[in-house]
Amino acid sequence: MPTDTASSSTVAPRPAPVEDWLRQQVAEGRWSQPHDVLGPHPVDGGTSVRVVRHLASAVRIVRPDGDDVELTHEGDGLWAGATTGALGRYRVEAEYDLDESTDADDATWTTDDAYRFAPTIGELDLHLFGEGRDEQLWQHLGAHVRTIDGVDGVAFTVWAPRATAVRVIGDFEGWEGRTTAMRRLNDLGVWELFWPGALVGQRYKFQILTDSGWVERADPFARRTEVPPATASVITASEYTWSDGDTAWMERRAQTTTHDAPMSVYEVHLGSWRPGLSYREAADQLIGHVQHLGFTHVEFLPLAEHPFGGSWGYQVTGYYAPTARFGTPDDLRYLIDRLHSAGIGVIMDWVPGHFPKDEWALAKFDGYALFEHPDPRRGEQLDWGTYVFDFGHPQVRNFLVANALYWLEEFHIDGLRVDAVASMLYLDYSRTEWLPNVHGGRENLEAISFLQETNATAYKRYPGIVMIAEESTSWPGVTQPTSAGGLGFGQKWNMGWMHDSLQYIERDPAYRAYHHDEITFSLVYAFSEQFTLPISHDEVVHGKGSLYGKMPGDEWQKLANVRAYLAFMWAHPGKQLLFMGQEFAQPSEWSEARGLDWWLLDDPGHLGVQDLVAALNRVYKDTPALWTHDSSPEGFEWIEGGDAPHSTLGFLRKDGDDKLAVFVNFSGVPVERRFGLPAAGTWHEVLNTDAAEYGGSGVGNMGAVTADETPWAGRPASAHLVVPPLGAVWLRLAD
């Protein structure tokens, strides 16, 4: 009789069953762990695979060896099948029945399976982000072109801790979303998906499932966006190669600091400097203008993406994306490269204090306050109608610190001017209701710590850069190192000097004698910080009038006042910043909606002011006494500070034996008298704002004065000088 033997046949592998509720969640992209259900999974005897293909009439797994696997529709658009052994590399082919009224054949869509890939962000990166210490966070979150297992695509990663589900939608999938659910990687709330076939230039957004339903958000880490008012993020990958000129600039920068070098800054709103120019088109024209004027740096009003042009860039929605109004990120790199190659530094305004409430951007990103502080007494800036960042949240703080580093690293920016620092430092800033800190005070301890971390990290990673504070109060130690308890900035805008000096110069010369302290008081505290003297965009807009418009008198007097004021500014301790249009004394206020009045340069008076600015910068750079000891009293000495009746100032700027004598007459009549000087000899008139070449009347000292050894006002030598009305002269001792 035959004996029983074990059967050699095996049971064909089958996909593990999925409960109806889970199938529906996965099919709609509402499940936080879609990779647990979709993609390949080991089963007894082989490998199963599931995909979502709504409305498909047939779906199969296509394998390189031709051993395809037909999938079965389980319902709700979910298809499943299995094969013996490992599945290996494969693609998903779906067929669709087109409308019978068309003559087209059935459509077939073949793609790689997004759900067969491992996470594209590593455990270490997640750990660093969890601690708020990922200094290159932009390399790990956002959208990044990747090639994985020979498949080209884009890795999408987003932080949305309170989202129930997240989907990425875009040009690459028809903006539908149900087939592009992302997986939650950890309790921190980082979501990730690698989407094969997504391409540079395609648009995308995130769909986030909140308690109130689906919301769409732009990528907080998008490095490129659509041109406003469109709001989608755009996949990008830099192909830019920096020039040798930029490389040489960066090497030189690393060996120097702005404290012991000349620094005069031309502040530019790119959209209205010459309207219509792209980043690349601006390069030639802007560089030529700045070189002619002799400025050492250009400072751009914010270039990060912002939806409303009328905000001038100060209400940012795309912190990692250069505004698309003027071109691509690589186009901006080109502009900066060209500036560096021409020997011009680049500073950019940065706005980490607040952001707008646009519902498609950062505001209530995952349905709740996330980037903003949850308590409106700290989380809203009522003056500007914006949200305030939650500086104490590790991930929000990491977002901002990394953003500062991003601009310095990826775009070779030489410095950041931090906007509205006072609004960050004080919990009661422009508020009637506010929450005190843990000590009961009004200092925002979290913001202080954030600023210190940002500055310390930036200076550590990028030698030679400068961090500048727009801080409008008397907060102590703004430019003191963090190791000494300071905020760690390299420079601070001298808002006190700006306010007092403009208030003085706006007065009729007949009344200036009674307000002499307004023009001299800044020297009481000039060395308490590392200061920049700003005549910025804020001072020539909103009814304040241009620099020319602030001046009293007729046209000639206005121009003379501008020239004298600029000479005083350039000689005063501190670096200088001048907003565009003021270099040729534009009469009209600035408006972002129109360009500068360049036609004024056909007028000799306005051309003369521009020529004076060029001369100021030329002499400034050639005179170490004007910039070596900007923040030290050893670099300054009064010659005549108390001549209020004649509205006249005299002082020395000095660096060892290098001395520059500066005399400014803010009255309407010439001052002719003897002034004390530190040494006898010939003092050349290296600058006279009343020279005919600058549009003046030619009053002066015929190019030089001879100082004899007659002691005067405590000085060992003196000379008879003529200081022109509404004018200034700079004198330098001959070698």
Residue range 169-194, pLDDT digits in tens: 999 999 999 999 999 999 999 999 99
**Which helix (H) or strand (E) is 722 found in, with range?**
strand 717-723
What DSSP assignment string belongs to 200-251? TT-EEEEEEEETTEEEEE--TT-S-BPSTT---EE---------HHHHHHHH
Residues 313, 323 contacting (CB under 8 angstroms): yes
Instruction: Check whether 74 has a pLDDT greater than 60.
Output: yes
Query: What's the whole-number mean pLDDT along residues 299-318?
Result: 97
Residue 374: is the preceding peptide bond cis (ω within 30°)? no
Angle at 121 between CA 116 and CA 125, to 5 degrees: 160
CB 516 within 8 A of CB 559: no
Q: How many Å apart are CA 686 and CA 729, to the nearest integer?
A: 8
Range name among 1-10, 36-45, 246-255, 659-668 with the lowest pLDDT average:
1-10
Residue of 135, 331, 470, 539 marked catalytic: 470
Predicted confidence (pLDDT) at residue 587 exceeds the cutoff of 90: yes
pLDDT digits (tens, 9 = 90+) for 403-432: 999 999 999 999 999 999 999 999 999 998
d(CA 468, CA 186): 37
Q: What is the pLDDT of residues 23-42, one digit of tens each?
A: 999 999 999 999 999 999 99
pTM of the predicted protein model: 0.95
Q: With beta carbons less than 8 A apart as the criterion, state whether 446 and 438 touch.
A: no
pLDDT at 100 over 70: no
Contact 504, 512 (CB under 8 A): yes
Pull the structure tokens for residue 470: 């727009």
**DSSP class of residue 181?**
B
Q: Say if residue 224 is exposed, middle or buried (CB neighbours under 10 Å; 0-12, 13-18, 19+).
A: buried
648-655 and 636-643 beta bridge pairing: antiparallel
- The secondary structure of 410-445 as a DSSP string is HS---EEEETTHHHHHBTTTT-SS----TTS-SB-H
Q: What amino acid occupies position 212? A: S
C-alpha to C-alpha distance for 440 and 356, rounded to whole angstroms: 29
**Of 166, 524, 210, 553, nearest to 367 (Cα)?**
210
Residue from 610, 552, 604 nearest 585 by CA = 610
pLDDT tens for 344-386 read 999 999 999 999 999 999 999 999 999 999 999 999 999 999 9
Cα(283)–Cα(302) distance, rounded to whole angstroms? 17
Confidence of residue 2 (pLDDT cuts 50, 70, 90): very low
On the question of pLDDT at 525 being above 50, the answer is yes
How high is the pLDDT of residue 8?
A: 41
Active site residue 470: yes
Catalytic, out of 337, 349, 366, 419: 419
Domains by residue range for the chain, with CATH: 20-114 (2.60.40), 123-234 (2.60.40.10), 244-493 (3.20.20.80), 633-733 (2.60.40.1180)
Beta strands in 63-222 (DSSP E): 69-70, 72-75, 78-84, 91-96, 107-112, 142-148, 151-159, 165-170, 183-184, 190-196, 203-210, 213-217
What mean pLDDT do residues 70-77 have? 96
Q: Is 419 designated active site?
A: yes
Query: What pLDDT shows up at residue 98?
Result: 77
Q: Give the model confidence (pLDDT) of 149-165 as tens digits.
A: 999 999 999 999 999 99
Q: What's the mean pLDDT when you consider all of the chain?
A: 96
Residues 681-730 have pLDDT tens digits of 999 999 999 999 999 999 999 999 999 999 999 899 999 999 999 999 99
pLDDT at 260 (0 to 100): 86
Instruction: Please check the confidence at residue 320 and state whether its pLDDT lies above 50.
Output: yes
Q: Crossing angle, helix 604-621 and helix 555-571, to 10 degrees?
A: 10
pLDDT, tens digit, 9 for 90 and up, residues 632-662: 999 999 999 999 999 999 999 999 889 999 9
3-state SS of 349-397?
Answer: EECCCEECCCCCCCCCCCCCCCCECCCHHHHEECCCCEEEECCCCHHHH
Bridge partners of 181? 167
